[in-house]
A and B are shown apart, each in its own frame.
Chain A
Amino acid sequence: MLDEIRGAFYIAKKDLKEYYFKPPTISWGIAFPLVFALAFLLRGWGKDWLAPGLLTLSLFFGSTSMSAASIVFERRMESFERLLLFPISYLGVAFGKALSSFFFGLLSSTATVAIIWLFLSIPPHNMMLLMLCIVGSALQFSSMGILLSFAVKDPAQAMTIFNSIRFPMIFLSNIIIPVSKLPHYLTWISFAIPLTYSVEAVRYALIGSYDIVPPQISIPVTFISFFAFLYLAEIMIKRTIP
């Protein structure tokens, strides 16, 4: 068990060295959420309601961009197979990849968090809970990104495919449009999107209220979905073995 965790940390360390300067991680992982958050916060309205969503969005894009870069590039260059040759389980490999995305997600969202902090008119409702929710959300997104990365073969198409999934989620996950204002049939989709739960968890921790999912549900779902995505990613890694 310890060997597995140690191996996962070494994979994460290697990934951070290797990919933090790749164009997709910078443009989509750092620049986009930052600009997006600024654009909405500068408009002035509903800042306190928007802040949790924008924070989560920043984590979401940061974490998933890193996994897209690290897995899609490595599969293309055949260096992903090196990881499969090490004496570590496939779950350990998936965890290592998720960890690097997790750390990058946290790092890349720092600037966005600082800006949101400036615009927020009230102090955070529960700081400890907020940290827990940020950690849970980053874990959830990173494992989700790992899973999605196995659907992409060509690095040139990675961001197109990722964005075709990520952008609809922005509009359906209570980030900029309240789910209560969506047509009824779209609300069902909102509840099926993991991002909705992390946004709701962060919203509660940040401003002390929630819209559609109470924290007793949203916080556990965030962590459970992390484990579920990680398990599915392990299955996807197994499936890469012909």
Chain B
Amino acid sequence: MDAIVVKNLTKYYDGFLAVDHISFSVKWGELFGFLGPNGAGKTTTVRMLCGLTRISEGDAYVAGYSPLRELKLVKKVIGLVPDVSNLYPELTCWENLLFTGEMYGIKKEELVNRAYELLKLFDLMDKKDSKFKQLSKGQKRKLTMAAALVHKPKILFLDEPTIGLDVRSRRAVWSMIRELNENGLTIFLTTHNIHEAFNLCERIMVINKGKVIAAGNPTELKRRFSGSEVLEVSFTGEISIEEISQIPGVIKASRSGGSFKLVVSDPISVIEELVGKARSRRISLNYMYLRGADAEEVFLKIIGEEHA
């Protein structure tokens, strides 16, 4: 059986359908991305799999155990890093790790070794005796991840692991996630950050308004959804956005400062048209740059909210 098997999982909150009969599976050792905008149902799904939210309909198997019927067994084999770094502020890093290990029934000697191992792995040895509340945001995140790994879970759930982090801390967390996965840990990562999902995950499932709307590896998703390209162009003189929008092949046009950003389906004919319009006004092209749709544009296309 796969690491995670989800069958028709559904969640209603007082009649509001938050997760709508979704089904999927995650293989052992996979770094699986669950991507979607805020409010799409990502966190609710993770919470149902971890037993923190009741399942309204459907079922799931986490490491072969059902959160509906075998919750205690599920809890023994999973680690969850929630979107909030929620360790105990008055306890030191060391005490937080020890407490977590004690709750999983790990023997003292083994726990002490494990806590040292994790502090080293997450580069927090010098913060061992610092209270959790004294750590930076990035350090708090790392310690929350470390705490989720104390009992050596088989599956790690990461809910928005880099939310609110600066670039440096984010990269540190990303490299940590890669390392954990390379060591064989199955990781279920939820994120609204397309770059995070495309950079880290082997397979991505896109969820929006509680429904799975696309799935595949990052390359497949880009190929499938990037039917359009983006053309950035600026002129030496004035030309209106309305006029540019009417050029055949321009799907969407927007203006940013002195340049235009055009989502185009047929770049060659659009470029020819633009050059013709410039000549007829006796102005010339200042700058032109054609590129394929980036991950963000692919994501927006998938969730049906095209942007320019």
Contacts and interface: CB of A to CB of B under 8 A. Distances in A.
Contacts of B88: 14, 18, 79
A241 B54 contact: yes
A77 B140 CA distance: 14
Interface in A5-22: 6-7, 10-11, 13-14, 17-19, 21
Contacts of A81: 52, 82, 86
Interface in A96-153: none
Interface string A227-242: 0000000000000011
Given A78-B82, A85-B80, A241 B99 contact: no
Interface in B171-204: none
Interface in B31-90: 50-54, 72-73, 75-76, 80, 82, 84, 86-90
Nearest to A79: B86
B125 interface: no
Contacts of A19: 90
Contacts of B80: 85
A169 interface: no
Interface centre among A3, A18, A82 (most CB of B within 10 A): A82
Contacts, number: 64
A145 to B, nearest CB: 19
Nearest to B80: A85
Given A17-B90, A85-B50, A78 B84 contact: yes
B287 interface: no
Interface in B128-154: none
Contacts of B257: none
B116 interface: no
A77 B90 CA distance: 12
B25 to A, nearest CB: 23
Given A14-B99, A81-B52, A241-B52, A6 B86 contact: no
B104 interface: yes
A93 to B, nearest CB: 10
Contact of B54 (A83, A89, A242): A242
Given A19-B90, A241-B53, A10 B102 contact: yes
A87 interface: yes
A242 B13 CA distance: 8
B104 A87 contact: yes
A87 B72 contact: yes
Given A10-B102, A14-B99, A18-B91, A82 B53 contact: no
B105 A3 contact: yes
Nearest to B50: A85
A86 B104 contact: yes
Interface centre among A19, A78, A84, A87 (most CB of B within 10 A): A87
A49 B73 CA distance: 54
B103 interface: yes
Nearest to B92: A17
Contacts of B89: 18, 77
B95 interface: yes
A176 interface: no
Contact of B103 (A7, A77, A78, A79): A7
Nearest to B87: A79
A88 interface: yes
Contacts of A17: 90-91, 95
Contacts of A83: 103
B91 A242 contact: no
Nearest to B84: A78
Contacts of B76: 87
B256 to A, nearest CB: 39
Given A3-B105, A18-B88, A78-B86, A87 B75 contact: yes
A86 B86 contact: no
A18 B53 contact: no
B73 to A, nearest CB: 8
A11 to B, nearest CB: 8
Interface of B: 13, 50-54, 72-73, 75-76, 80, 82, 84, 86-91, 95, 99-100, 102-105
What 7 pairs between A and B have smallest CB-CB spacing? A86-B103, A79-B86, A87-B75, A10-B102, A78-B86, A18-B90, A87-B76
5 contacts: A10-B99, A14-B91, A18-B89, A87-B72, A87-B105
Interface of A: 3, 6-7, 10-11, 13-14, 17-19, 21, 77-79, 81-89, 241-242
Given A7-B103, A17-B95, A18-B90, 16 more contacts: A10-B102, A10-B103, A14-B91, A14-B95, A14-B99, A18-B89, A21-B90, A77-B84, A77-B89, A78-B86, A79-B88, A82-B87, A82-B100, A85-B51, A87-B75, A242-B13
